[in-house]
Amino acid sequence: VQLQASGGGLVQAWGSLRLSCAASGRTFSSYAMGWFRQAPGKEREFVARITWSSGNTYYLATVKGRFTISRDNAKNTGYLQMNSLKPEDTAVYYCAASSRPSTFASDYNYWGQGTLVTVSS
């Protein structure tokens, strides 16, 4: 599976962005999808994940209620809707695909190239 993340940019605090993750290659719908982020000087951290059927989602506690992960298997695309953004959300965001839903980056076999989200105060 090849993944292409897009939709990042500069936004003011309390603003919104929607990230997209376009998949090609193997059947996207067979994989769970996750979003991770990496801020400058910090380790990559889990943000959200969704099962292949979109039946189950799970979020990092600090984004729950503000971010929504979703997917459209017919379009081979996943999304991360981010609302009420805070400066601490500034990071490079990566989408990833795994054979099973997980919060661990090591469980994901396929990664997009990352898209930068910058939130100004």
Chunked mean pLDDT (size 10), the chain, 121 residues: 96 98 85 96 97 89 98 93 98 96 95 97 94
What's the pLDDT score for residue 29? 81
Place of tokens 């953004």: 85
Residue 66: which H helix or E strand, with range?
none
Q: What's the helix, strand, coil split of the chain in %, to 5?
A: 10, 50, 40
- pLDDT for the residue 47: 98
- What pLDDT is stored for residue 61 in this prediction? 98
The pLDDT of residue 27 = 80
Task: Report pLDDT for 52.
Answer: 83
